[in-house]
Amino acid sequence: MAYTQSTTFLSNSPRFPFASLPNPSLHPPSVTHLFFRPLRFKGVSVKPHTPLYSLKASMAETKNVAVDVFEKEDLAVALAKYVADLSNKFTAERGAFTVCLSGGSLINYLRKLLEPPYVDSLEWSKWHVFWLDERVVPKTHEDSNYKLAFDGLLSKVPIPPGNVYAINDALSAEGAADDYETCLRHLVKSNVILSSASGFPKFDLQLLGMGPDGHVASLFPGHPLLQENKKWVTFIKDSPKPPPERITFTFPVINSSAYAALVVTGSGKADAVHSVLRGSQNSVKLPAALVSPEGELKWFLDKGAASKL
């Protein structure tokens, strides 16, 4: 596929030493450093996992944050490669890959993992799958994030059933959150999940979506749960996005992650994306702006979601 525009935007953060001194040799030839000035590459074909353009976010407290913008179909290709590379890295390094899923459109964007070369080559038996958030409904219910992931991904790859950690759907929201936290604590003790220096579980990869209001997992704008700093897993009974009862990881857990990806598409999310990535540092932060993992954060955007950047 031939693209006509490719641009890299670098922040002025001291964490990005090359931000104000672009050096084309440091980046793939398909990107430039012209601060959104479009560059024509007529006739040059770009691999589908290569973003249309990339930018480094000027988020407050910017750590390792990268933002890539894709055509929709290419986003799925790039996301599969990103997940596969991390799966290979962690299974080689420590014989396990702990990955956390969200609900929503994310699962569909993971669909390329079900195709060659990944479906046959990934060490699925070493995957351990968790949910960043789950709706408090039976696992067979259409609203269940477990069902969504099982139908769309997990039932099609050989992950041992014992490595898939669904919430206990027989419990209340409060009970299910406690039960899930107990399960995580047990897995940290047995070293399946690593522990961060702060004592929170350190997952290898957390895959998040973002709502048009800027929520991530089941952490919604203005909700007191945004401040929770002790519990690993908590519950909400008044979620503005239905269904109202959910359990969710807290920010300390989200931010202890080694890698995190935010997969956000559609022009309906462009305002929230702009607010998070370009918003004033003094304005009230949307939940997505609070995602700041110990390791790397990568945004996968389509053109619609990036349209106001």
Ligand X SMILES: O=C(O)[C@H](O)[C@@H](O)[C@H](O)[C@H](O)COP(=O)(O)O
Interface residues toward ligand X, by CB under 6 A: 102-106, 133, 145, 209-211, 215-217, 241
DSSP-derived secondary structure for 151-170: HHTGGGS---GGGB----TT
Closer of 193 and 217 to ligand X (Cβ): 217
DSSP letter for 183, please. Answer: H
Residue at 129: amino acid letter:
V
Contacts of 41 (CB under 8 A, 6+ apart): 2, 3, 4, 5, 6, 30
Rounded CA-CA distance 159/245 in Å is: 28
The least distance separating ligand X from the CB of residue 11, rounded to whole angstroms, comes to 25
Closer of 104 and 152 to ligand X (Cβ): 104
The least distance separating ligand X from the CB of residue 54, rounded to whole angstroms, comes to 21
Closer of 10 and 208 to ligand X (Cβ): 208
Closer of 181 and 302 to ligand X (Cβ): 302
- Return the SS3 of 214: coil
DSSP 3-state helix, strand, coil percentages of the chain (rounded to 5)?
30, 20, 50
The least distance separating ligand X from the CB of residue 17, rounded to whole angstroms, comes to 33
The least distance separating ligand X from the CB of residue 28, rounded to whole angstroms, comes to 28
The least distance separating ligand X from the CB of residue 141, rounded to whole angstroms, comes to 12
The least distance separating ligand X from the CB of residue 301, rounded to whole angstroms, comes to 12
Closer of 76 and 106 to ligand X (Cβ): 106
Secondary element (H or E) of residue 276: helix 270-278
CA proximity to 292, closest of 65, 16, 57:
65
Do 50 and 281 meet the contact criterion of CB atoms below 8 Å apart?
no
Rounded CA-CA distance 285/4 in Å is: 34
Closer of 32 and 248 to ligand X (Cβ): 248
Rounded CA-CA distance 101/181 in Å is: 16
